[in-house]
Chains A and B, each alone.
Chain A
Amino acid sequence: MSRQPGKVSTFLVAAVVRLLGKRGEKREQRERARERERQRELERRKGMSQDELDKLREEEQKGRPGVPPPARERDVGASGAVFGGVLLALLLATVAAAGFIVFYVAFPDTQLLGLCIGLALLFLGVASALAGKRLFPREEAVEERHDFGDEEKRAEIEGILEESVEGVSRRRVLTLAAGAAGATIGAAALMPVTSLGPSVGARIRQTQWSRGRRVVDEAGRPFRPEDVPIGAFRTGFPEGGKFDELDAPLILVRLPWDEIQVSDEFKRFMPDGVMAYSKICPHAGCAVSIYRHPLYEPTEPRPALVCPCHFSTFDVSRGGHLVFGPAGRDLPSLPLALNAAGELIAASGFTERVGPSYGGVRKGPDDQPLHRGEG
């Protein structure tokens, strides 16, 4: 079957035009009808007396006949149940906010913290809504807009305002409860301040890697250079260290010597062409887990480590040099050496700070990149 887009589109356009035309027609009809109605009404009023006209106008101003006036005014006596409900909601808000404070200090689980502060705000909202709708009487007062210096009138308005609060009995209890809820929620909101400090000092620069520390795999087996074949990548950890800390994981890759474009000074720290980088991307701290290694270099993209989160790309042949992506600096590298048993060890700590970048991370003499590309 051959498709005929020309015909189909013609049909569609025709259909749209026809529909729009019909709508336009209908609108015109409606407008004509309205015009006729107005004319008739005018004719009718011409024959009326002044009294009848006044009556008509009054009715029009009252609104449509048959619709009751809006229930703006409400006189609510303080019912015990409603009062108790407001009090209970305020109490629960206080308890939830206090729970936030307790959890923040004792057991800072984000889910519990979120639940607590969420419940506190929810109960505060419930209390406010309930109090506003059912507890406080509502009155509509219109203040004439002139003469702000009229003491008498002002006193009158103030009297009305005060009266509206006096409609609530046991006001002090309610004020107390609301005050308690507000104060606890306020205190809960201030709790994160306690997380500031003390100063981390040099701790932020220390890592688990130091001279002589063996590189092991997940199961604790030490790596030898031949465990990192060309074209593969492995994940290494400090022997006996805490593997789940940001500074622990390494990504190990190996390149043939003629592809490594760093100065000889730095090649010393790449035994048999094996190099180690921090597995944590300096951008947002994701695990760098993409290794792009061309099978046939001349026609394929160059070897690089890539972070799967935002595709920051680090050229391994130039010492982890950033070639693409949002990371602000090169991938930190760990100088390697071999011990007497031929196993991979760290030749020193990291030469740059590991983990996501923060203010001033690139300043200071100890943050010079180890591998600077020659080319």
Chain B
Amino acid sequence: MRRRVGRLLARALLGPPPGRRRLPRPVRVALALLSAGALLFVLAAPSAGDRDRVLAQAPDADTERAPLPEDRAPLARTPATEADRRLVREGRRLFVDGCSTCHGFDARGIADRAPSLHGVGALAADFYLRTGRMPLEDPEDEPRRRKDSFYTAAQRQAIVAYVGSLGGPPIPVPHPERGRLSEGAHLFAVTCAGCHQIVARGGIAPHAVVPDLEGVKAIDVYEAIQIGPYVMPKFAYLTPAERDSIARYVLWTQDPTDLGGWGIGHIGPIPEGMVTLFIGLFALLFTIRAIGERTTE
């Protein structure tokens, strides 16, 4: 059956096999349009997985979702024990080695080169070091997320402990599982989507590259909201509950439900239009091929 349909389509679109008559024109037109429609339908249909997830995400299910593992427990802010003090000393040593060229030996910053780290807290140190944004080669560069952190986890812990000992907020504990997805989507649209794009695939702002949020963790969202790294605004007015919602939405965007079918990378209407245009163009070309008639002369 399938082979017969295939043969019929091939005959309609590419012409008859030698020695056979072409199909009547209305049949050819109908087949060409039908196959174009079928192609579009296949592309626009959500996958079975997405459909199931939408069914599972009835309004009630919004609040009950398996709790996500917590990214990290808070670090002690002031060195209390001998072990903590040793950690801070080790961090101080690494800091002098790797960071003091720009931030200064006392971490009070150097004018026109790098800011003071007094008061930024373990939160900022954790964010910049863990995501690989620091150390920077040139203080004029935009700090960007790198795949691998420059320091090992143990070294990071030491430097974070040292910077934390200079005062400032501790590493937060996110609870994205407590957040509400709909509220998160709304807040993200109002505060974040201007730069990060509504499905968090990033973009540009003049003089800055806006990172995509694929692969970030809930704690990164928390910390970035608090810090406002590079030219990102600080959204310090957001409550912890709102940050939970935003973090949950960001995690959702990493594997969104594609109700419209093929997501095309979720990078906006222009590629979507391009793809549709190309499909439409080829559909039209095949239609023209199918309905065209060679003149006898």
A229: interface (CB < 8 Å): yes
Beta-carbon contact of B230 and A290 below 8 Å: no
Residue of A nearest to B142 (CB): A300
| Residue pair A229, B236 in contact (C-beta under 8 Å) | yes
Which residues of chain A have C-beta atoms less than 8 A from B8's C-beta?
Answer: none
Stretch at the interface among A74-82, A206-214, A301-309: A301-309
If A67-B296, A232-B234, A294-B230 touch, whether A299 touches B206 (CB-CB below 8 Å) is no
Q: How far is the CA of A235 from the CA of B191 in the complex (A)?
A: 9
Query: Which residues of A sit under 8 angstroms from B193, Cβ to Cβ?
Result: 289
Residue from A231, A234, A290, A324 having most chain B Cβ neighbours under 10 A: A290
Most chain A CB neighbours (cut-off 10 Å) among B114, B205, B237: B205
Give the docked Cα–Cα distance between A69 and B295 (Å): 11
Contact B233 A301, beta carbon cutoff 8 Å: no
Q: Which of B198-244 contact A (CB under 8 A)?
A: 203-208, 227-237
The size of the chain A interface, using a CB distance under 8 A, is: 34
B82 within 8 A of A: no
A235 lies within 8 A of B206 (CB): no
Given contacts A234-B237, A311-B206, A295 and B297 within 8 Å (CB-CB): no
Neighbour of A298 across the interface among B111, B206, B231, B297, CB < 8 A: B111
Q: Chain A 216-253, CB within 8 Å of chain B: the 1/0 string?
A: 00100000000101011111000000000000000000
Contact, CB under 8 Å: B237 / A232: yes
A300 engages B230 (CB within 8 Å): yes
Bound complex: CA A68 to CA B297 (Å): 11
On whether the beta carbons of B297 and A290 are closer than 8 Å, the reply is no
Does A292 contact B194, Cβ atoms closer than 8 Å?
no
The complex places the Cα of A63 from the Cα of B297 at a distance, in Å, of 8
Q: How far does the alpha carbon of A306 sit from the alpha carbon of B195 in the complex, in Å?
A: 9
Asked whether A70 is an interface residue with its Cβ less than 8 Å from the other chain, the reply is yes
When the two chains form their complex, are residues A295 and B230 in contact, meaning their CB atoms are under 8 A apart?
Answer: yes
Nearest-Cβ distance from residue B255 to partner chain A, whole angstroms = 25
| B233 and A291 form a contact (CB under 8 A) | yes
Interface status of B139 (Cβ within 8 A of chain A):
yes
Say yes or no for A329: interface residue by CB 8 A criterion: no
Closest B residue to A305 by beta carbon equals: B194
Report the nearest A residue to B109, measured CB to CB: A296
- The answer to whether A94 has its CB under 8 Å from any CB of chain B is no
Interface pair B234/A292, CB less than 8 Å apart: no
Query: Which residues of chain A come closer than 8 Å to B55, judged between CB atoms?
Result: none
Contact of A324 with B234 at beta-carbon distance under 8 Å, contacts A289-B194, A296-B115, A299-B139 already known: no
Q: Which of B264-297 contact A (CB under 8 A)?
A: 295-297
Asked, given contacts A63-B296, A299-B140, whether A292 binds B205 with beta carbons under 8 Å apart, the answer is yes
Q: Which residue of A lies closest to B234 (CB)?
A: A231
For residue A313, CB closer than 8 A to chain B, the reply is yes
Question: Does residue A283 face the partner (Cβ distance < 8 Å to B)?
Answer: no
Complex Cα distance, B296 from A290, in Å, reads 63
Q: Does B137 contact A (CB under 8 A)?
A: no
- Which of A290, A295, A301 has a CB less than 8 Å from the CB of B195? A290
8 Å CB interface, A123-145 against B: none
In the complex, which residues of chain A have a beta carbon less than 8 angstroms from the beta carbon of B114?
296, 299
CB of A267 within 8 Å of the partner chain? no
Task: Name the distance in Å between A248's Cβ and chain B's nearest Cβ.
Answer: 15
Contact mask B170-206 → A, CB, 8 Å, 1/0? Answer: 0000000000000000000010011100000001111
Complex interface: chain A residues within 8 A of B112 (CB): 298-299
Are A231 and B233 closer than 8 Å at their CB atoms? yes
B118 to chain A, nearest CB (A): 14
Q: Which B45-77 residues sit within 8 Å CB-CB of chain A? A: none
Bound form: Cα–Cα A295–B206 in Å: 16
**B7 within 8 Å of A (CB atoms):** no
With a cutoff of 8 Å between Cβ atoms, the chain B residues found around residue A293 in the complex are 228, 231-234
Q: Name which residue of chain A comes closest to B236, CB basis.
A: A229
Cβ–Cβ < 8 Å partners of B232 in chain A: 293, 295
Contacts of B146 on A, CB cut-off 8 Å? none
List the A side residues contacting B93 at CB < 8 Å. none
C-alpha gap A325/B203 in the complex (Å): 17
B113 in contact (CB, < 8 A): yes
The 8 Å CB contact of B206, one of A70, A218, A289, A324, is A324
Complexed CA–CA distance, A308 and B234 (Å): 18
- When the two chains form their complex, are residues B237 and A227 in contact, meaning their CB atoms are under 8 A apart? yes
Contact A300:B296 (CB < 8 A) given known A232-B237, A295-B115: no
Q: Which of B139, B140, B207 contacts A292 (CB 8 A)?
A: B207
Instruction: Give the residues in chain A near B295, CB-CB below 8 Å.
Output: 70
B237–A300 contact, CB under 8 A? no
Residue pair A232, B235 in contact (C-beta under 8 Å) = yes
Within 321-366 of A, Cβ neighbours of B (below 8 Å) are at 324-325
- Could you say which of B139, B194, B206, B233 contacts A232, with CB atoms under 8 Å apart? B233
Name the distance in Å between A230's Cβ and chain B's nearest Cβ.
8
Interface centre among B115, B139, B195, B231 (most CB of A within 10 A): B231
Task: Identify 16 residue pairs between A and B in the complex whose beta-carbon atoms are under 8 Å apart, listed by A's number.
Answer: A70-B297, A218-B190, A231-B234, A231-B236, A232-B237, A292-B231, A295-B230, A295-B231, A296-B115, A298-B111, A299-B113, A301-B206, A301-B207, A306-B205, A324-B206, A325-B206
**Contacts A289-B194, A308-B203 given; 12 further ones with Cβ under 8 A?**
A231-B233, A231-B236, A288-B194, A289-B190, A289-B193, A290-B194, A293-B228, A295-B227, A296-B115, A306-B194, A308-B195, A313-B206
